[in-house]
Amino acid sequence: MTHKQTKLAIEFCKYQNNQNCMKLLDNENNLYAVATVAVGFALQQDEVAVKDYEENSGILKSLVDARVLEYPHRHISQGFVTIPICRITPYYFEKYCVEPKTHPFPNSKDLKYTGYFTEN
């Protein structure tokens, strides 16, 4: 996917509360952004809460344009922000999110690695 003219890979993970997490990595595998947030509300297995504010402004549009996420089907309020809730498209969900591994994601105690996607 591309965001602000930067090609990015997507790393799918799980937060401690078992919600989906999406990390965006640049071409040198450096963390560019975490595109999601863990929320205090129940989410479906194929949903993500997208952090599309502050430094992540525009991330939602980039992920929808890349057909990784569907358009938001609901919004929730958490603190001072409204967070869009989106479904991961069936292709990405089935390929990267169905069978999470149990080992922790490198450099993060609260994430579990589930899959990695990059465009060819």
Q: What are phi and psi of 112, to 5 degrees?
A: -115, 135
Between 101 and 32, the higher pLDDT residue: 32
Q: Is residue 77 part of a domain?
A: yes
Q: Is residue 120 part of a domain?
A: no
Q: Is residue 117 part of a domain?
A: no
pLDDT per residue over 2-20, tens digit each? 899 989 988 888 888 989 9
In this prediction, residue 94 carries a pLDDT of 82
User: How many domains in the chain?
Assistant: 1
pLDDT per residue over 51-106, tens digit each? 999 889 999 999 999 999 999 999 999 889 999 999 999 888 887 776 544 333 44
In this prediction, residue 99 carries a pLDDT of 57
Q: Is residue 100 part of a domain?
A: yes
Residue type (1 letter), 24: L
Range of the domain at 40: 2-112
Enter the pTM of the model.
0.80
Does the pLDDT value for residue 107 go beyond 50? no
Sort residue 72 into left (φ over 0), alpha (ψ -120 to 50) or beta: beta
Does the pLDDT value for residue 26 go beyond 60? yes
DSSP E strand stretches across the chain: 2-3, 6-7, 9-14, 20-25, 31-34, 47-49, 74-78, 81-87, 112-117
Q: Is residue 11 part of a domain?
A: yes
